[in-house]
Amino acid sequence: MKHVKRFLALSLAAALLAGCVSCGNSDEKTSPTGGGSGGASTGGGGSGVDSTGDGGTLRIAMTCAALPNTDSEPTEGQEGYRFVSFQLYDALVKWDASSETEAGKIIPGLATSWEQNPENPKRWTFHLREGVKFHDGTDFNADCVIFALDRVMNPDFEYYSTTCAASVGSFLANIESYAKVDDYTITIDTVQDNNAYLIYDLPYIMIPSMEAVKEKGDGFADAPVGSGPFRFVSKIAGQELVMERNENYWGNVPQIKTLILKPISDASARLAALQSGEVDWAEVVPVESLESLKSQGYQVKLNDYPHAWLYIMNTESGPFADARVRQAFSMSIDREGLCNDILQGVGTPLAQLMYPGSPWYAEGVEEYTYNPGEGERTAGRGRLSRRLYHDLCLPHQRLWQHVPPDYE
């Protein structure tokens, strides 16, 4: 079965919709956390949530198998950022994912504005937010930003963290150097000229309390201090992480008073935890259960989740070096069938890496629709034999018929 799952993950191109389910019968939507994508959102007040915004506890079942690292850069990928780092910490800029109809966009965070130097296209200047305090009461300023960057980019730095550097590594690739201009201004130089992608990397470079890191050293992750909408309370390894709202947050103060995260990797177990009342919110429950949950009064919210499953081809050598073979392969994939039958309709077929609404989505790209007959003819005109085409390409159109909906 693992072979089949991996094959699907490589062959399906789909923008998934991540479903979250919460308890309660009200149609009223609440925003449990403060500020843009810095906060998780739910479709309604859970059993422990006061929908008036005066407090309450929200218990969330995450999909990860272990609690994300609570240092400034998390483990467990995007879920670690979404539920932990974006709650405990701030970055220079952040994602605003508050719209239910539009793709997320970059908005100011600890930087109120920024601009590219017209005379030096590698250099970006960031103007920092004044009056921000970390959870320990210390002030945020340019020194804190330089400290945070040194901590993940400078191996010779006294407080360099190999764990954080490894977690955030790919988001540092565009940064060549950085410098303090004054107490509330810094510059960042990119590796290449006109590197607009820098702004999309910065939401993931978290800024911890400089004084707390110096004081706690290697023990910082056990009692982390940031400036985010929630502050750390406690954690039990492998079981739960507890945070409470930051009443003095510089942005929108969260409506939820206490946030409790529980790692539950199995989708059926997350659903059981929701139905038993152990949690108020379950991430990504089995898709075949959604309609039943709606009929029982659970609030089901589907958010665009820009995750694409891709097939990466070797275009330098072998059969995929021939464009006609690549075209034939694309025509052999029944994207609509995969989305409808495997994902139960909560997915969108894609014909390219980026999803509609992404700044890098290419309008007008030629799409090869599902047509295995034409694919076979196209492959024949290339360097792919009919037998190899049947062995390599056609399994994609049939595979979904043999995989149960809980394939993940």
DSSP-assigned states of every residue in 282-299: EES--GGGHHHHHHTT-E
How many domains, in total, are found in the chain? 3
Q: Check which CATH number belongs to the domain holding 148 and give it.
A: 3.90.76.10
Per-residue pLDDT tens digits for 369-387: 887 777 667 665 655 555 5
| Residue reference for tokens 């599902």 | 370
Distance CA 272, CA 278 (A): 8
Within a domain: 66: yes
User: Which stretches within 35-161 are classed as H helix?
Assistant: 77-80, 86-88, 142-153
Across 309-313, 366-370, 376-380, which has the greatest mean pLDDT? 366-370
pLDDT for res 301: 79
- Which of residues 205 and 330 earns the better pLDDT score? 205
For 339-353, what is the mean pLDDT? 77
Within a domain: 224: no
Within a domain: 86: no
Look at the alpha carbons of 296, 16, 40, 259 in this order and tell me if their dihedral is positive or negative. positive
Q: What is the DSSP annotation of 30-64?
A: B--SSSGGGS--BSS--TTEETTTTEEEEEEEESS
User: 212-216, 283-287, 307-311, 369-373: lowest mean pLDDT where?
Assistant: 307-311
pLDDT for res 2: 31
Confidence bin at 135 (pLDDT 50/70/90): very high
User: 109-123, 313-327, 393-407: lowest mean pLDDT where?
Assistant: 393-407
Q: Are 208 and 225 in contact (CB under 8 A)?
A: yes
Q: Are 350 and 14 in contact (CB under 8 A)?
A: yes
| Residue reference for tokens 């379950």 | 282
398 and 314 within one domain: yes
Distance CA 101, CA 352 (A): 21
Within a domain: 99: no
Q: Are 270 and 79 in contact (CB under 8 A)?
A: no
Residue 117 CA, chain-centre distance (Å), reads 30
109 and 137 within one domain: yes
**123 C-beta neighbours (distance < 10 Å), count:** 18
Q: Are 376 and 389 in contact (CB under 8 A)?
A: yes
- Which of residues 7 and 322 earns the better pLDDT score? 322
User: 39-43, 224-228, 395-399: lowest mean pLDDT where?
Assistant: 39-43
pLDDT for res 199: 93
What proportion of the chain, given as a percentage, has pLDDT over 70? 75
Look at the alpha carbons of 183, 225, 38, 105 in this order and tell me if their dihedral is positive or negative. positive
Confidence bin at 304 (pLDDT 50/70/90): low
Domain end marker among 216, 242, 270: 216
361 and 336 within one domain: yes
90 DSSP assignment: B
Structural domain of residue 384, as residue ranges?
2-14+308-402
135 and 44 within one domain: no
Distance CA 183, CA 395 (A): 60
Distance CA 150, CA 116 (A): 22
Look at the alpha carbons of 54, 278, 259, 297 in this order and tell me if their dihedral is positive or negative. negative
Confidence bin at 328 (pLDDT 50/70/90): confident
